[in-house]
Amino acid sequence: MKTLRTEVAVIGAGTAGMTGYRAAKAGGKQTLLIESNVYGTTCARVGCMPSKLLISAADAAHMLHVAPRFGVSPGQVRINGKAVMERVRSERDRFVGFVVESVDGYPAEDKLHGHARFISPTQLQIGDHTLVEAERFVIATGSTPIVPDEWRAAGPRVISSDAVFDWDDLPESVAVAGTGVIGLELGQALARLGVRVTIFGRGGSVAQLSDPEVLQVARRAMTDELDVRFKTKVVDVAPQSNGLGVIVTSEDANGKQHTEQFAYLLSAIGRRPNVHKLGLENTGLQRDHQGIPLYDPHTMQCGDSHIFIAGDANNERPQLPEAADHGRIAGDNAARYPDVQPGLRRTPLAITFTEPQIATMGSSYSELCVSHAGRFAIGKVSFENQGRSRVMLQNKGMLRVYAEYATGRFLGAEMIGPRAENIGHLLSWAVQAGLTVEAMLDMPFYHPVVEEGVRTALRDLAHHLQHEPAHDCPCVDCTPAP
């Protein structure tokens, strides 16, 4: 076995790992980037980019579907599944190509291929070929979709999101398990592209929402358009005898079972951080119940050790911009160690690209019920009669905004509605800037724009801050039942 020595070893060449590698190099350290799979990152290969490509095709189909309501008739709509998937794959390959080009630009001696595993706090074994000795480490190993073993046993027609973007045609039908971000984004996109889709949600959750009023509106918006069955569990999955599909048995809240056939079952029930085959038991690090090392979210340092953890691997906020921020902080601190410094953490912002879009920014309702119980007020707006939303036939949804009683400081918001991706930015910037509701209402609002709906919600919030008692949370943990 070959032995390599380096100052910093970065495990995983995804977004967090690549950013971490560049930060450690910028800190003047000899750095080795270790990757077990192909280069290209989860985001570009099987995540953010191909999913948004599929959603854009679905948006185009949907626009034609609603056009007659404006008096515009597009004629007979045909969806060419092969052409849809061809564009998804070719544009995806283009994005992946840019990432691979970046990695190609790194010096050859900085890269190593193989699965890394700690065999001591300062040593990694890479496959069966190399021993790496390093002074500091960045764990940036990402996450893996969860597919329960009993579903996987039904064969190759049980898939995760990874498989969707390699299809060369759209299937006739897909059962989706999970009403989280992936289940709803992909489920709605496929349904809008003419695929027969049923989405099973074992509870009542909708993506990342926690506000009960927004959740209620979101459930209605989803069930109005899609076959979403809340409070319905997938209890059995078997292969079809011809091997061309799966037989899915589900059970609703009354215990009633239903058996249906689909071409695929897409498991979208969450992703697990890749910390289990890493030999972390050989590092001496303290770990939580999921096996993730305890770390400081401002420095990414695990305990007071020379090991840092970034991106989906730490499961804090499994999103692309966070992976990049984590990676930068971890790589920088690995280079500076032991002089570790807090890095820039931004206000939380999460966007789900369904239609209506879903956005949460700043502190969520469920977080405020814990941190500010009895000390925050709520304002809201429904988009049903909001002028511009109605003009665009996108008048569905609700925004709820939160502020602190004593100071009037804006704390966060949850919404489903039109242009949530833009409103999400606006409101998360306001949280990060520490604005009060009063200061936000002094800002310009044009006409007619969806942001006038934000103003309505803020005016309502200002009123509640002045005249009403503090919002009393009905529950301590408001997360919907799983």
Ligand X SMILES: Cc1cc2nc3c(=O)[nH]c(=O)nc-3n(C[C@H](O)[C@H](O)[C@H](O)COP(=O)(O)OP(=O)(O)OC[C@H]3O[C@@H](n4cnc5c(N)ncnc54)[C@H](O)[C@@H]3O)c2cc1C
Interacting residues with ligand NAD (CB under 6 A): 177-183, 185, 201-203, 205, 268-271, 318-319, 351-353, 482
Please state the closest distance from residue 269 (CB atom) to ligand NAD, in A. Answer: 4
Residue 268 partner contact from ligand NAD, ligand X, none using kind-dependent CB cut-offs of 5 to 8 Å: ligand NAD
Residue 35 partner contact from ligand NAD, ligand X, none using kind-dependent CB cut-offs of 5 to 8 Å: ligand X
- Cα 141 from chain centre: 16
Q: Is 42 in the site for ligand X (CB under 6 A)?
A: yes
Answer yes or no: are the C-beta atoms of 64 and 77 closer than 8 Å. Answer: yes
Of the pair 127, 270, the CB lying nearest ligand NAD is at 270
- Cα 27 from chain centre: 30
How far, in Å, CA of 30 to CA of 23, rounded?
A: 11
Residue 203 partner contact from ligand X, ligand NAD, none using kind-dependent CB cut-offs of 5 to 8 Å: ligand NAD
Please state the closest distance from residue 317 (CB atom) to ligand X, in A. Answer: 8
Task: Determine the interface stretch with ligand X among 13-21, 22-30, 71-79, 168-176 (rule: CB under 6 A).
Answer: 13-21
Q: Is 142 in the site for ligand X (CB under 6 A)?
A: yes
* Burial category of 447 from C-beta neighbours within 10 Å (exposed 0-12, middle 13-18, buried 19 and up): exposed
Task: Determine the interface stretch with ligand X among 35-43, 199-207, 328-336, 381-389 (rule: CB under 6 A).
Answer: 35-43
Answer yes or no: are the C-beta atoms of 255 and 249 closer than 8 Å. Answer: no
Which residues between 112 and 131 bind ligand X (CB under 6 A)? 115-116
How many residues of this chain bind ligand X (CB under 6 A)?
A: 35
Answer yes or no: are the C-beta atoms of 53 and 358 closer than 8 Å. Answer: no
Which residue of 74, 321, 342, 434 would you call a contact of ligand X, by CB under 6 A? 321
Binding-site residue ranges for FAD: 52, 141-143, 312
Answer yes or no: are the C-beta atoms of 351 and 424 closer than 8 Å. Answer: yes
Please state the closest distance from residue 96 (CB atom) to ligand NAD, in A. Answer: 17
Residue type (1 letter), 237 = V
Which helix (H) or strand (E) element contains residue 133? strand 130-139
Torsion of CA 444, 446, 450, 453, to 10 degrees: 50
Residue nearest to ligand X (CB): 14
Residue 458: how many other CB atoms lie within 10 Å: 25
Please state the closest distance from residue 454 (CB atom) to ligand X, in A. Answer: 22
Q: Is 325 in the site for ligand X (CB under 6 A)?
A: no
Supply 272's token pair.
């697990």
Q: Is 278 in the site for ligand X (CB under 6 A)?
A: yes
326 a catalytic residue: no
With CA atoms as reference, report the closest residue to 273 among 144, 394, 440: 144
Choose the catalytic residue: 298, 326, 447, 471: 447
Write a three-state SS string for 293-357: ECECCCCCEECCCCEEECHHHHCCCCCHHHHHHHHHHHHHHHHHCCCCCCCCCCCCEEEECCCCE
Task: Determine the interface stretch with ligand X among 312-320, 386-394, 403-411, 458-466 (rule: CB under 6 A).
Answer: 312-320
- Measure Cα distances from 98 to 18, 88, 104, 370, 425 in Å: 13, 16, 10, 43, 26
Residue 412 partner contact from ligand NAD, ligand X, none using kind-dependent CB cut-offs of 5 to 8 Å: none
Residue 270 partner contact from ligand NAD, ligand X, none using kind-dependent CB cut-offs of 5 to 8 Å: ligand NAD
With CA atoms as reference, report the closest residue to 398 among 205, 180, 215: 215
Residue 179 partner contact from ligand NAD, ligand X, none using kind-dependent CB cut-offs of 5 to 8 Å: ligand NAD
Binding-site residue ranges for NAD(+): 178-185, 270
Residue type (1 letter), 436 = T
Partner residues linked to 136 by β-bridges: 8
Of the pair 318, 397, the CB lying nearest ligand X is at 318
Residue 124 partner contact from ligand X, ligand NAD, none using kind-dependent CB cut-offs of 5 to 8 Å: none
**Angle at 145 (CA atoms; ends 139, 147), nearest 5 degrees:** 135
Residue 321 partner contact from ligand NAD, ligand X, none using kind-dependent CB cut-offs of 5 to 8 Å: ligand X
Q: Is 183 in the site for ligand X (CB under 6 A)?
A: no
Residue 245: how many other CB atoms lie within 10 Å: 21
Please state the closest distance from residue 390 (CB atom) to ligand X, in A. Answer: 28
Answer yes or no: are the C-beta atoms of 20 and 148 closer than 8 Å. Answer: no
Q: Is 99 in the site for ligand X (CB under 6 A)?
A: no
Task: Determine the interface stretch with ligand X among 29-37, 129-137, 235-243, 436-444 (rule: CB under 6 A).
Answer: 29-37
Residue nearest to ligand NAD (CB): 180
Q: Is 366 in the site for ligand X (CB under 6 A)?
A: no
Which residue of 10, 21, 24, 36 would you call a contact of ligand X, by CB under 6 A? 36
167: which residues sit within 8 A by CB, 6+ positions away? 85
How far, in Å, CA of 331 to CA of 140, rounded?
A: 10
Of the pair 325, 367, the CB lying nearest ligand X is at 325
Please state the closest distance from residue 177 (CB atom) to ligand NAD, in A. Answer: 5
- Name the residues annotated as catalytic: 447
- Binding residues (CB under 6 A) for ligand X: these are 11-17, 34-37, 41-43, 46-48, 51, 115-116, 140-142, 161, 182, 274, 278, 311-313, 318-321, 323
